[in-house]
């Protein structure tokens, strides 16, 4: 059983910089947890504290039942895979994988070393490359050798720090599925750091979103996507990102620069006395009214389209709008936090690829207003957050995770038997 438990973990660096501001996180045995967030938010710091490469300023770190704050890295029995794989160029693939075993002099017989390396090589499909040198391997193969080194150590948990960021996009996709498969097969607890939200969404059983050393939300990918707790999480998860529009409450309507949204009684109670909010609508919630008939309760509107991008699977259309100076500041701040490229005063809509909307066109679009999220412009809190729904999504996710872990392990047993 290797659960990893973080309780109020704080990191203050020698120069006084507070990089991690009290993070608590329970990682279950066999779980795949992602730490994600913009550059400098403290992901690597947190990971390095878990492995023991960095002192913990305060708080408690448990691995299994044991508090390990003061344990040396080698006594924590964790394996870390870095971005630059740190392979030994003069050693063969076999010896690179065997390296951690050789370090423990005399502990393993030659036969044991061979068995362990062969098991790892089989898991990673490196059998044909064992006698080659790292320089002659592809980036993905090198990455697998680095993972092989983690496997032979039979570590209690795997820790990855942006292991794929040196690879090109295609290989990254391949390695992503490779890592997911390996983790399921071995059932080893895994903590994986990335700033890439696609990696976070596709790999993680649960994703922990960090901002400036503070945990924002820990949830399943679907939980984060459908029920983000605040503006930051909503803007960070999803590609293209969620659209944010200023919303002015006028009686029973919420006026945005593109369309007026009727305020339901539920929304009215959530809005309280606020007269200005930020409305969030994901790009894929928009439809082209000439392709898909707008249902009765939809919010329909006409726009002038600036630029379109046809991607085969979708058509993205960009629509400029006038923002409201009262929320512009907040959105600019959000954009900076998200490492954005500048204020977004344009709507991005992802339409069906069959849409005939083109650059400079006018178009009639609609979306389901019940899918819009509403945020407090000061705190960024998601006023439309549905606690019950969020819990249900995560409960379902946990059930799915256990089932797929069991399937993978049953396959493994039958492979070993046959
Ligand atoms: N040795 C150090 N001394 C002082 N500050 C540090 C030290 N190492 C990191 N920091 C600071 O701590 C913060 C978190 O750094 P960290 O490396 O954990 O970020 P990260 O989330 O991994 O970012 P990236 O995505 O760029 O790798 C940063 O602001 C960084 O400048
Ligand atoms: Mg980092």
Tell the residue number behind the tokens 């592809």, with chain if given. Answer: 138
Q: Residue length, the chain?
A: 418
Distance CA 213, CA 42 (A): 5
What domains does the chain contain, in order, with CATH numbers? Answer: 4-226 (3.40.50.300), 240-385 (2.40.50.140)
Tell me the helices (H) and strands (E) count for the chain, helix number first. Answer: 11, 21
> What is the distance in A from the centroid of ligand 2 to the CA of 133?
28
> What is the distance in A from the centroid of ligand 1 to the CA of 269?
41
Q: What tens digit of pLDDT does each residue of 11-43 get?
A: 999 999 999 999 999 999 999 999 999 999 999
> What is the distance in A from the centroid of ligand 1 to the CA of 221?
25
Among all ligands shown, which has an atom nearest to the Cα of 39? 1
Q: 181: how many CB neighbours lie within 10 A of its CB?
A: 13
Distance CA 30, CA 185 (A): 10
For a mutational test of ligand 1's pocket, the pick from 14, 18, 43, 161, i.e. the residue with the most ligand atoms closer than 8 A to its C-beta, is 43
pLDDT at position 22: 97
pLDDT at position 342: 55
pLDDT at position 247: 93
Q: What tens digit of pLDDT does each residue of 334-371 get?
A: 888 877 655 568 999 999 999 999 999 999 999 999 99
Q: Where are the beta strands (DSSP E) in 68-220?
A: 78-81, 157-161, 189-194, 206-211, 214-219
pLDDT at position 1: 66
> What is the distance in A from the centroid of ligand 1 to the CA of 174?
28
> What is the distance in A from the centroid of ligand 1 to the CA of 103?
30
Residue nearest to atom 29 of ligand 1 (CA): 40
Among all ligands shown, which has an atom nearest to the Cα of 19? 1
For a mutational test of ligand 1's pocket, the pick from 12, 44, 191, i.e. the residue with the most ligand atoms closer than 8 A to its C-beta, is 44
The token pair that represents 140 in the structure block: 């993905």
Among all ligands shown, which has an atom nearest to the Cα of 195? 1
Determine whether 114 is exposed, middle or buried from the number of CB atoms within 10 Å of its CB (0-12, 13-18, 19+).
middle
Are the C-beta atoms of 31 and 78 separated by less than 8 Å? no
Question: DSSP character for 156?
Answer: S
Contacts of 139 (CB under 8 A, 6+ apart): 166, 167, 168, 171
The token pair that represents 135 in the structure block: 């320089």
Q: How far is CA 76 from CA 9, 50, 159, 310, in A?
A: 17, 9, 12, 50
pLDDT at position 57: 98
pTM: predicted TM-score of the whole model, two decimal places: 0.91
Report cis status (omega within 30 of 0) of the bond before 343: no
Mean pLDDT by 10 residues, the chain (418 residues): 94 97 96 94 96 96 95 90 81 94 89 94 90 89 88 90 83 84 88 91 94 97 96 93 93 93 94 94 96 93 95 95 82 79 78 95 94 94 97 94 87 81
User: What is the largest distance, in Å, between two alpha-carbon atoms of the chain?
Assistant: 79
pLDDT at position 159: 94
């Amino acid at each position: 059983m290797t659960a990893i438990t973080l309780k109020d973990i704080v990191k203050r660096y020698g120069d006084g910089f507070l990089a991690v501001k009290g993070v608590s996180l329970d990682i279950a045995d066999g779980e795949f947890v992602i730490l994600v967030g913009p550059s400098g938010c403290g992901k690597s710091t947190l990971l390095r504290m878990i492995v023991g490469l960095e002192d913990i300023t305060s708080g408690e770190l448990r691995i299994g039942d044991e508090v390990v704050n003061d344990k040396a890295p080698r006594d924590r029995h964790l394996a870390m895979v870095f971005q630059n794989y740190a392979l030994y160029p003069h050693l063969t693939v076999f010896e690179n994988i065997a390296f951690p075993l050789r370090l423990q002099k005399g502990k393993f017989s030659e036969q044991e070393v061979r068995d362990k390396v062969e098991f790892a090589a089989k898991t990673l499909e490196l059998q044909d490359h064992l006698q080659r040198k790292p320089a002659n391997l592809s980036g993905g193969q090198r990455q697998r050798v680095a993972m092989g080194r983690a496997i032979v150590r039979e570590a209690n948990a795997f820790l990855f720090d942006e292991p794929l960021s040196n690879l090109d996009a295609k290989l990254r996709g391949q390695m992503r599925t490779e890592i997911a498969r390996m983790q399921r097969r071995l059932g080893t607890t895994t903590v994986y750091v990335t700033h890439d939200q696609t990696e976070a969404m596709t790999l993680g059983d649960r994703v922990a979103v960090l901002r400036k050393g503070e945990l924002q939300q820990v949830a399943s990918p679907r939980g984060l996507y459908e029920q983000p707790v605040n503006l930051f999480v909503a803007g960070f998860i999803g590609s293209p990102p969620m659209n944010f529009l200023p919303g002015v409450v006028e009686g029973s309507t919420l006026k945005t620069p593109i369309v007026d949204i009727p305020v339901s009684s539920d929304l009215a109670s959530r809005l309280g006395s606020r007269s200005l909010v930020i409305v969030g609508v994901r790009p894929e919630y928009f439809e082209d009214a000439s392709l898909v008939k707008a249902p009765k309760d939809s919010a329909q509107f006409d726009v002038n389209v600036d630029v379109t991008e046809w991607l085969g699977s979708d058509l993205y259309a960009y629509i400029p709008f006038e923002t409201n100076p009262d929320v512009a500041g907040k959105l600019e701040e959000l954009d900076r936090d998200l490492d954005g490229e500048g204020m977004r005063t344009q709507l991005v809509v992802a339409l069906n690829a069959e849409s005939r909307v083109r650059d400079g066109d006018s178009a009639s679009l609609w979306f389901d207003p019940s899918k819009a999220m509403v945020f407090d412009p000061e705190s960024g809190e998601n006023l439309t957050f549905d606690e019950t729904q969020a819990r249900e999504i995560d409960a379902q996710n946990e059930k799915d995770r256990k089932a797929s872990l069991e399937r993978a392990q049953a396959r493994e047993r039958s492979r070993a038997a046959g």
